[in-house]
């Protein structure tokens, strides 16, 4: 039960606030169906149901966006994560999620000073030769100030907002419990996998709270990009970097959104910039398996010499070797091998409830076949990925989180490339990179290394096999062999049986009160009330009250079933 497992009274107050926002934005019926309003009332918290109809007239995607904005940083970040899940949400939802921005005022420096003194060991004016008290930028989790080291290096100081970690952790606890409750009580939400989405979001947000972890990710990508001198990653100054603060080189360049400034007179070649940006991100994805998952214009700067700087590594995607191998198999898309692509996509999505596998495979093959004969210069990877997402949504299938981030990065990258150069074609840049990786993967030494790794794993399994069989047989002889069976709705059925048993017990109590009171009414003497034996009268009164409660409980249960 959600209410019974809340950690603190503060969590209970925050839950009331969340549900109140849901009611105001037209989701009161959902709150009722989850039973949360009644449970809050029993815990001494009452919801305000007024003004609910005024805000319920807009479209559902707009309702959700407005509610997320009102609920604060954690929920805004959640909506931003959902903006990358085109495999689960239609274009109208994605368009609204993409409008979510953390519109928050900056924290005054005086409020930051205690935390800065603790992390830096002194006042910022002492640690730095110059420290700008006016923030360069402010977001929901952190804000950025410019500064200068005593050696003369210009840097940015990223400072986490005081108390934001506690607020976000509390909201994550509530989100995880609400997601579990919604998945159990609202079958219509199951295709959206609420618990998986919240788990993915919580993991991403906890990483983003660790500003030192962001720097470690930046340094890892910088090491991978060392072979590309035209790619710049800000240097980290570890002497001043902690979990709540990081210090990196200041990037003085042209922001990614200022396309008008990228002129030949200023020394920029937009075609070269588009190609170099694509090559860098493709290297991160295909070769390294660690990539910037949010390469939008705000995280990119263009520098003289047609160099490109990437900043803000709070959101980083990772691809296992297996995923990268599957990406290589998608080479069949541009080499016109529909069955190879269909096999990979079906492996990615897996089987869902009620999945018509034959129909899905037919649609995937038709999707791949429609690109047969299309020249690379006319192939839009962004549109292709959007088509794949539409097929997955139709069959209520979702991609694994790492692939959802990959699709988001690809679509952002292709959009940036075409803004720089209308003649940019992502497929033209992708094919040479994939071919190079394939050639590297199938070199004799690479094949020998993988074969030896496979042999070692097989030998290790064979070595452990006798012990595993011995333990299995020993447990079987002792009657300790167990088989786990998971029944998804068993808890819900148990709760229904428990409620029915409670009502049956109450009915027996009412019957006993009526019978007992009838007997007491026939006994003369004793105290009276309104001319009737007092104990008999009180017994009948208690039976009436309990009966009214029982009728109300049965009516509400039937009403909720009708709503379902």
Mean pLDDT of 37-45: 60
Residues 424 and 382 sit within 8 Å (Cβ to Cβ): no
Mean pLDDT of 99-126: 87
- If 0-12 CB within 10 Å is exposed, 13-18 middle and 19+ buried, where does residue 535 land? middle
- Tell me the catalytic residues: 294
Give the pLDDT band of residue 119 (cuts 50, 70, 90). very high
**Cβ partners under 8 Å of residue 270, min gap 6:** 259, 262, 420, 421
Helix axes 60-71, 9-24, angle to 10 degrees: 150
CA 504 to centroid of chain Cα atoms:
43
Q: Is the pLDDT of residue 490 over 90?
A: no
Q: In 3D, which of 327, 259, 260 has the Cα closest to residue 288?
A: 327
- Encoding tokens for residue 146? 């410019």
Residues 136 and 169 sit within 8 Å (Cβ to Cβ): no
Highest mean pLDDT: which range of 168-177, 180-189, 355-364, 507-516: 168-177
Beta bridge partners of 290: 318
pLDDT of residue 491: 58
The whole-angstrom separation of Cα 197 and Cα 477 is 43
pLDDT of residue 550: 75
Share of the chain above pLDDT 70, in %: 79
547 CB neighbour count, 10 Å cutoff: 15
Question: What are 228-251's pLDDT values in tens digits?
Answer: 999 999 999 999 999 999 999 999
Beta bridge partners of 158: 144, 246
What is the model's pTM?
0.71
């Amino acid at each position: 039960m959600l209410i019974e497992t809340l950690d603190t009274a503060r969590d209970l107050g925050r839950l009331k606030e969340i549900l109140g926002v849901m009611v105001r934005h037209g989701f009161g019926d959902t709150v009722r169906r989850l039973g949360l309003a009644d449970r809050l009332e029993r815990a001494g918290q009452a919801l305000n149901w007024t003004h609910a109809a005024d805000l319920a007239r807009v479209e559902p995607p707009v309702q959700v966006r407005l509610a997320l904005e009102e609920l604060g940083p954690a929920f805004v970040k959640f909506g931003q994560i959902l903006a990358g899940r085109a495999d689960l949400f239609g274009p109208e939802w994605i368009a609204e999620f993409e409008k979510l921005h953390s519109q928050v005022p900056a924290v005054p420096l005086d409020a930051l000073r205690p935390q800065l003194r603790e992390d830096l060991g002194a006042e910022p004016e002492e640690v730095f030769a110059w420290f700008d008290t006016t923030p360069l930028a402010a977001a929901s989790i952190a804000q950025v100030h410019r500064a200068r080291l005593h050696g003369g290096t210009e840097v940015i100081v990223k400072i986490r907002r005081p108390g934001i970690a506690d607020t976000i952790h509390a909201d994550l606890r509530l989100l995880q419990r609400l997601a579990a409750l919604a998945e159990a009580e609202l079958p219509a939400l199951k295709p959206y996998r609420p618990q998986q989405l919240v788990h993915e979001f919580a993991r991403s947000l906890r990483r983003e709270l660790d500003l030192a972890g962001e720097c470690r990710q930046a340094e890892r990508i910088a090491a991978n990009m060392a072979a590309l001198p035209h790619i710049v990653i800000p240097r980290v100054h570890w002497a001043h970097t902690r979990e709540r603060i990081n210090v990196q080189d200041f990037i003085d360049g042209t922001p990614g959104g200022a396309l008008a400034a990228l002129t030949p007179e200023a020394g920029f070649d937009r075609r070269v910039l588009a190609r170099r940006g694509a090559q860098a991100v493709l290297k991160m994805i295909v070769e390294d398996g660690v990539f910037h998952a949010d390469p939008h214009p705000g995280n990119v700067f263009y520098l003289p010499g047609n160099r490109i700087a990437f900043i803000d590594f709070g959101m980083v995607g990772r691809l296992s070797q297996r995923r990268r191998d599957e990406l290589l198999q998608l080479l069949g898309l541009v080499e016109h091998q529909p069955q190879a692509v269909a096999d990979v996509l079906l492996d990615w999505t897996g089987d869902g409830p009620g999945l018509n596998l034959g129909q899905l495979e037919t649609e995937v093959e038709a999707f791949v076949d429609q690109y047969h004969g299309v020249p690379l210069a006319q192939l839009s990877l962004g549109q292709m990925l959007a088509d794949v997402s539409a097929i997955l949504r139709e069959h209520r299938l979702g991609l694994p989180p790492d692939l959802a981030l990959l699709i988001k990065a690809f679509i952002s990258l292709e959009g940036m490339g075409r803004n720089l150069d209308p003649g940019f074609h992502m497929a033209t840049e992708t094919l040479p990179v994939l071919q190079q990786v394939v050639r590297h993967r199938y070199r004799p030494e690479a094949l020998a290394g993988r074969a030896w790794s496979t042999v070692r794993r097989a030998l290790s399994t064979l070595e452990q096999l006798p012990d595993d069989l011995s333990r299995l047989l020993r447990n079987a002889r002792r009657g300790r062999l167990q088989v786990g069976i998971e029944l998804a709705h068993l808890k819900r059925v148990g709760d229904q049986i428990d409620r029915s048993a409670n009502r049956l017990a109450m009915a027996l109590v009412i019957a006993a009160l009526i019978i007992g009171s009838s007997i007491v009414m026939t006994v003369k003497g004793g105290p009276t009330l309104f001319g009737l034996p007092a104990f008999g009268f009180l017994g009948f009164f208690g039976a009436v009250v309990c009966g009214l409660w029982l009728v109300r409980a049965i009516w509400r249960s039937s009403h909720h079933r009708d709503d379902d």
